[in-house]
Chains A and B, each alone.
Chain A
Amino acid sequence: MSPARELILELDQVRASYGAVEVLRGVNFTVRKGEVVALLGTNGAGKSTILRCVSGLLKTDAGEIRYEGQNIAGMATEDTVRLGITQVPGGRGLLPNLSVEENLRMGAYPIRRQRAKVKAGYDRVYGIFPRLAERRRQLAGLLSGGEGQMLAIGRALMLEPKLMMIDELSLGLAPLIVQQLVKIVRDINASGVSIILVEQSANLALSITDHAYFIEKGQLRFDGSSKELLERDDLLRSVFLAAAR
């Protein structure tokens, strides 16, 4: 991971709010090409909001979001998706009344006219997640938690993204399934996709990412190499449980 690698995403003093509630109070962070970055923090710190701003679901109040050098702050979601930014929404964010295959099909919506590409997308996703192939006709709402997460990740892969943002990878899943998913996330990354991982479980996030950012009350508190942070057990506990350092 040489620092010379170019940036794929850069947030510069981004502020955003829901109505009167200011959630992001000037956030800076960067993702390099091919990197896996963790966004950590307690509930309500603004992690998911950062993702919403990047994908264009939420308009920023101020600041710049540069993606491959281009300022995408304020861009419509449809357009950020076309640029190769996909998101695995938190709380699964599936379309429960659509079947598994229909969910995947919608994942390829922007390229729906390129039939061959869509077909290749199905094959790729079913190759990674054979379970989904077995359940392709089932309604997404009836999937188990782990299968649902697989579908959400698979759907985000349909577009061959450059930047994938995962909101809560492990939430509510059994450890064994989390391990499988972790492996898949690493594989996706190995194929050249940059990844932002929002995660409750700090230990999990730190073990699979290159760099981590701690967000608190809408601001960056500190960041560092995941490996080094993982060694600092006391630091983590002080952040998450306010235990004495």
Chain B
Amino acid sequence: MYWAQLVVAGLFAGAVYALYGQGITLVYKATRVPNFAHGAIGTVGAFVFFKLWDGSAKRLLIPWIHFKIPFTGVSWNPNPPALPFAAALAVALVISVLLGLLVERAAMRYLVDAPTISLIVATIGIFIVITGLAIDMFNQQTETVPPLFNDHVYSVGGIRFFTTDVIVAILALVLAIGLGTFFRFTNLGIAIRATADSRETSRLLGISADRVAAFAWAAGSFLATLAAILIIARSNRQLDFVSLTILIVPGFTAAMFGGFTSLVGTFIGGLTLGVAQNLFIGVHWPTRFLSTAFGAAGAPQFVSFLVVVIVLMTRPKFIFKGVRVDEESGVGLGKARSGLAPEDQLRRVLDRRNTLLLLLEDWKIGRWLLAALCVIPLLAIPVFTVSYWSTVLGSAVFYALIVLSIVVLTGWTGQISLAALGFAGAGAFGTALLSTQFHIPFFLVMPMSGLIGIPLALLIGVPALRLRGFFLALATLAFMVACETWLFPQSFFSTHNDVARGVLRDDLSQPSFYMSLAFAALVYIGVRNLGRTRVARAWHAIRDSENTAISMGIDPVRYKLLAFAVSGFIAGVAGGSFGYLNLKIVAANFTFFFTLTYITAAVISGIAMLAAGPLAAFNFVLLPTITARSISGTNEAIFIIGGLLAVLTVIQYPNGLAYFYSRVLRRFEAGERVAWASTTDAEGIAPAAAGAGTEEEEEELFNRAAHGDLSLPAGVPGA
């Protein structure tokens, strides 16, 4: 009976995952986009519904809707009309469908052939924008909504469940079957499957991929709202913007069971996951250690992680039949396009005004000036002002290091990892333990916290060897959520979350920032050094083409693990600096949501460049703090702007800001100025176009190579 109850409860919990996962499957199937914004779109729909529905409107804490035009301070608080259930639902569904169409039209359409990381970051950006805007618009507080249905408790053979449970389960099943039928028998459904099979062949048959995508986003958003309303009603009836985001991992896991193509598979996958989680929690573990470890609150997330890793590693045939598995790393940077890139346009303008030459000539001095300009306030501010700035700058150091660790692992090595804060959390808790229990001085703790990050990074690095692109992202995301909800809240960690700041120097009130900065600078220099060696080149090679790398003698296993280790070390040091910045460390500091914002910050700043670290810290920590007052029209300004920037970046300029700056200020290349001069009026011709421009030049190049007198100099073997 005990087990039966667990299984039934698991099935009902799993139905929620299935419901959530079906929309994800639909969008992925038609467009290859892993939709991180799924929950956010659904939550918007749920808010609209509950604000309008006459059954709940009067009982909400804030019955009105708070329209605020972001960044202006202009606002308007209308009272929404109270509508009957069906009308409210219809309005909510229509709005979410429009939202889905908007997302497809305004953003995703431009990312059809984009690398996986762009798709991930774009949907994360959309997720952040929608959440930010909606929090501003609806409310800042969590509200409790009344039950949707008169919940009866049923008891069948001693197994208890509620009306809402049954409705969720039935709806999930009906959707699975209904959508399955749709995909089998309607022209549009078959066209979506055709597009999933081969985009190109489908186009040859006259199927518009854009329309298929638009439909998928509309339908996916429809499902998202339906799921959100029911999930909110079924769980604790809390209407807020965070509770649904945590379903990302189980939702994706359910979809994974369907191979991201089968809706019935998604349904079964959701149920399987729910049951697995419940059984795992229900087990009476033999020793006390195990029972506290596996019985902890976050155990379901731990199970999700296990399930994701096991399924992705073994890839059972019955699931992964006809599933696209990424062949390449999925990390691509912007390709040279025909026509002038933005940086070239800027260069050209600067060049025409003769400022570029000046800039470039003085750039050596300019660099030092700029560096001094940055460093002096960094060193001076905490001394002359209150400790508030020290905290801000300390956070900036943390931010820069986290982005740096993402740059090494994702930007350089092409391993899309969403677990940076997991490594950092390990470093932070390690710092707390080392400083309070063992009273180890600061300057030893910092490198040690870096070392603590390494094993955790390798833990996910080993399964990562077999995964690429989105599947790797999914595994690391599950890992991150397991860290956040299961590992860090363990009693072992929570008893060691004080940081003995005083161990460093008792007489200084703000010691940590300077020291953190110094350590961060050391790490930065170390990584920069590393970036000039064959190790970094091997990483880049693996990112750009693993097979070519192998054919040049690079061992992908060794170098991928190495990248995880280095990235874990950097993040661990970041965690250490975080430890010294905060007297108490809690799991809530290291959430997967923050990890997602770091990834977007890294991409905006230039994911393949080290300068992205400091740049991201400046743009996303210092700048918002300095300008906080001037854009106070909204509370979520920084998130909204960040999200919009992320979408804009991946569409327009996937190389990011740091790359832009470095390209503007690069040395002149052969033929560049000449090419400009000759195409003064002809816009759109790339400078020094693509190596040799004409066939004649190209032929000349080959002839020179073939008959050149440039024989190999003596001393080179083979000469």
List the interface of chain A (C-beta within 8 A of B). 19-20, 25, 55, 57, 76-78, 81-82, 86-87, 89, 93-98, 102, 105-107, 109-110, 112, 155, 159
Contact = CB atoms under 8 A, between A and B. Distances in A.
B187 A98 contact: no
Nearest to B187: A112
A77 B204 contact: yes
Contact of A109 (B198, B205, B695): B205
Most chain-A Cβ atoms within 10 A of its Cβ — which of B196, B197, B205, B322? B205
By secondary structure, the B interface counts as helix
A87 B187 contact: no
B495 interface: no
Contacts of A94: 201
A96 B695 CA distance: 41
Nearest to A112: B187
Contacts of A82: 206
B208 interface: yes
A20 B337 CA distance: 9
Given A55-B204, A110-B206, A105 B193 contact: no
Contact of A155 (B193, B197, B200, B205): B205
B207 A106 contact: yes
A98 B335 contact: no
A184 to B, nearest CB: 20
Given A20-B690, A105-B187, A106-B190, A96 B204 contact: no
Contacts of B204: 55, 57, 77, 81, 86-87, 89, 93
Contacts of A97: 193, 196-197, 322
B582 interface: no
Counting contact residues on chain B (CB < 8 A from A), the size range is 20 to 34
9 closest cross-chain pairs (CB), A and B: A81-B206, A110-B206, A95-B197, A77-B203, A93-B201, A112-B187, A95-B194, A78-B206, A106-B194
A95 B199 CA distance: 10
Contact of A106 (B200, B205, B335): B205
Contacts of A107: 205
Contact of B197 (A20, A76, A98, A105): A98
A95 B322 contact: no
B421 interface: no
B193 A98 contact: yes
Contacts of B206: 77-78, 81-82, 109-110, 159
Contacts of A81: 204-206
B202 interface: yes
Given A78-B206, A98-B193, A105-B190, 7 more contacts: A19-B335, A57-B204, A77-B206, A87-B204, A95-B194, A109-B187, A155-B205
B191 interface: yes
20 contacts: A25-B695, A57-B203, A57-B204, A77-B203, A77-B204, A77-B206, A78-B206, A78-B208, A87-B204, A95-B194, A95-B197, A96-B197, A97-B193, A97-B197, A97-B322, A102-B190, A106-B190, A106-B194, A109-B187, A112-B187
Contacts of A78: 203, 206-208
Contacts of B336: 20
A169 B207 CA distance: 24
A20 B196 CA distance: 28
Nearest to A103: B194
B191 A109 contact: yes
Contacts of B203: 57, 77-78
A159 B690 CA distance: 42
A25 B666 CA distance: 33
Contacts of B208: 76, 78
Given A109-B205, A109-B206, A93 B190 contact: no
Contacts of A95: 193-194, 197-198, 201-202
Contacts of A106: 190-191, 194, 202, 205, 207
B320 to A, nearest CB: 13
Nearest to B691: A20
Interface string B317-353: 0000010000000000001100000000000000000
Contact of A57 (B190, B200, B322): B200
Most chain-B Cβ atoms within 10 A of its Cβ — which of A25, A55, A82, A112? A112
B194 A98 contact: yes
Most chain-A Cβ atoms within 10 A of its Cβ — which of B196, B200, B201, B202? B201
Contacts of A98: 190, 193-194, 197
A95 B335 CA distance: 30
A62 B561 CA distance: 48
Contacts of B200: 57, 89, 93
Contacts of A25: 695
Contacts of B194: 95, 98, 102, 106
Nearest to B689: A20
Contacts of A102: 190, 193-194
A15 to B, nearest CB: 12
A109 B190 CA distance: 10
A78 B208 CA distance: 6
B193 A96 contact: no
Interface string B180-196: 00000001001101101
